[in-house]
């Protein structure tokens, strides 16, 4: 900054000096011209008095004759006491003109210097103002005010400052995005804590009640059995929730390693089906597999343990939210890059506006059917993470006849 300032100052000093030299040169030239003029006049005078025939000498002068014999004239003039560099009216005139020229040029020079000085001061002040604006913007940033006025390109006289302003502006936009993201993350963490505490609160409260009741002495064996059962149920619920949370945190921190092995995908699906089979049977829900024979032997890179976990989460939901005596169909379709797996149920379905939400952590639907069931809202989130790790995709839409939900999973044949 200091260097810039001194640069600017020396620039003005150079201009002033150049101006001074120019005026000096101009003065010198004009004074010299005046002097020559004066000499010419004296010469003409000398010529005129040295010759008798005035008209002849006048015409000779006018014709531009160079050979002027002025010595005789000079002598006559000297005799009469008029010397060239001396007091005579013409010399006085010449001197007066010189004084005028010098005075005028001094006035001109002073005016110019004053103007330059004024410009210098105005610019200095403007620059100060511009810096002030930048400072204001920066102090606004500190106060987390990121909206700064747009400027047109004429607002700044100093192009460097303008560039700086634009840079600061774009930095501010970046800060704005950053602070927004931090805010969102903070909110997410908040809601995460709320969610977890909420999820834990109900079973823990129920557990506490069960224990309190069990501590009473006047319980009959039936009651004792009943509350022991409830206690175990709540404990199991907490255990499941914790397990889901641990899975999520391991998945998110990258501690879970998906080990891809080329295995028969049909068997992995069957495995998952077998693990939910009991629950399905309780509600008399049939699980059908619809796959061509060659697909039943298809080998596909996947992690058997985690993928079946992902499928179990979907099937669990399908069973949970389907009425009794319905059917769940698992279709396998061979596409070009992906194996397409569709899991369709005849349950309560998912409203279209929730399609995107169901895969979010701790999201649970708002319908009373969903609220009637226990669940932590982490299953589908985990499923999506697992499928993602397989370079696959998962999405949901409504069932083919408009009833129930259809989950579509795509898994690549090659990774």
Partner 1 sequence: METILRTENLYKTYGSGQTKVNAVENVNISIEQGEFVAIVGKSGSGKSTLLHMFGGLDTPSKGNVYIKNQNIFKLKEDELAVFRRRKIGFVFQTFNLVSSINVWENIVLPIGLDGKKVDETFVKDIIKTLGLEQKLHNFPNTLSGGQQQRVAIARALASKPDILLADEPTGNLDSKTSDEVIGFLKMSAQKYGQTLVMITHDEDIAQIADRTILIEDGKVVEQ
Enumerate the H helices of 51-158 as residue ranges: 54-63, 71-79, 89-142
Contact partners, residue 358, CB within 8 Å, separation at least 6: 350, 365, 380, 396
Nearer to partner 1, 154 or 337 (CB): 337
Give just the sign of the alpha carbon dihedral 349, 353, 355, 361. Answer: negative
Phi and psi torsions of 290, nearest 5°: -125, 95
Secondary structure (DSSP) of 365-387: --SHHHHHS---S-HHHHHHHHH
Contact partners, residue 342, CB within 8 Å, separation at least 6: 329, 330, 331, 333, 406, 407, 408, 409
Cross-strand partners of 338: 412
Q: Considering only CA atoms, give the Rg of the chain.
A: 51
The nearest distance, CB 370 to partner 1, in angstroms, is: 19
Cross-strand partners of 286: 327
Which range in 56-64, 72-80, 281-289, 384-392 contacts partner 1 by CB under 8 A? 384-392
Q: Does 338 bind partner 1 (CB under 8 A)?
A: yes
Binding mask 159-178 for partner 1 (x = CB under 8 A): ----------xx--xx-xx-
**Quick one: how far is CA 219 from the chain centroid?**
67
The nearest distance, CB 16 to partner 1, in angstroms, is: 38
Element at 397 (helix H, strand E): strand 393-398
Q: Does 405 bind partner 1 (CB under 8 A)?
A: no
Q: Does 140 bind partner 1 (CB under 8 A)?
A: no
Q: Does 336 bind partner 1 (CB under 8 A)?
A: yes
Selected binder of partner 1 within 73, 203, 379, 392 (CB under 8 A): 392
Q: Does 230 bind partner 1 (CB under 8 A)?
A: no
Q: Does 355 bind partner 1 (CB under 8 A)?
A: yes
The nearest distance, CB 395 to partner 1, in angstroms, is: 4
State the number of binding residues for partner 1 (CB under 8 A).
30
Nearer to partner 1, 37 or 388 (CB): 388
Nearer to partner 1, 70 or 333 (CB): 333
Q: Does 399 bind partner 1 (CB under 8 A)?
A: no
Q: Which residues bind partner 1 (CB under 8 A)?
A: 150, 169-170, 173-174, 176-177, 333, 335-338, 340, 352, 355-356, 359, 388, 391-397, 408, 410, 412, 414-415
């Amino acid at each position: 900054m200091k260097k810039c300032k001194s640069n600017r100052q020396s620039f003005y000093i150079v201009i002033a000096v150049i101006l001074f030299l120019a005026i000096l040169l101009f003065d010198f030239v004009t004074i010299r011209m005046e002097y020559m003029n004066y000499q010419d006049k004296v010469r003409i005078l000398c010529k005129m008095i040295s010759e008798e025939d005035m008209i002849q000498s006048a015409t000779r002068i006018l014709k531009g004759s160079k050979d002027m014999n002025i010595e005789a004239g000079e002598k006559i003039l000297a005799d009469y006491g008029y010397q060239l560099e001396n007091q005579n009216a013409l010399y006085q005139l010449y001197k007066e003109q010189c004084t005028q020229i010098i005075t005028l040029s001094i006035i001109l020079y002073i005016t110019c210097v004053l103007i330059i000085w004024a410009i210098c001061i105005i610019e200095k002040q403007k620059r100060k103002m511009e810096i002030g604006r930048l400072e204001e913007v920066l102090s606004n940033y500190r106060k987390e005010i990121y909206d700064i006025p747009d400027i047109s390109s004429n607002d700044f006289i100093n192009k460097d400052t303008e560039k700086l302003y634009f840079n600061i502006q774009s930095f501010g936009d970046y800060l704005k995005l950053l602070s927004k993201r931090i805010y969102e993350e903070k909110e997410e963490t908040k809601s995460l804590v709320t969610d977890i505490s909420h999820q834990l609160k109900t079973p823990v409260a129920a557990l506490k009640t069960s224990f309190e009741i069990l501590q009473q002495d006047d319980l009959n064996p039936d009651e004792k059995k009943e509350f022991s059962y409830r206690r175990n149920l709540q404990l199991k619920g907490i255990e499941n929730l914790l397990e889901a949370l641990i899975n999520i945190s391991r998945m998110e921190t990258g501690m879970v390693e998906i080990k891809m092995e080329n295995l028969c995908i049909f068997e992995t699906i069957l495995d998952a089906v077998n693990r939910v089979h009991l629950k399905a049977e309780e509600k008399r829900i049939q699980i059908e597999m619809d796959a061509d024979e060659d697909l039943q032997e298809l080998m596909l890179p996947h992690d058997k343990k985690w993928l079946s976990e992902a499928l179990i989460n979907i099937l669990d939901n399908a069973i949970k939210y389907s009425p009794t005596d319905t059917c769940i169909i698992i279709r396998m379709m061979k596409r070009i890059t992906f194996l397409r797996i569709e899991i369709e149920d005849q349950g309560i379905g998912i409203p279209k506006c929730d399609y995107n939400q169901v895969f979010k952590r701790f999201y649970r639907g708002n319908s009373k059917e969903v609220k009637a069931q226990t669940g932590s809202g982490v299953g589908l989130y985990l499923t999506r993470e697992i499928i993602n790790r397989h370079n696959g995709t998962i999405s949901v839409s409504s069932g083919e006849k408009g009833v129930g939900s259809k989950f579509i999973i795509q898994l690549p044949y090659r990774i």
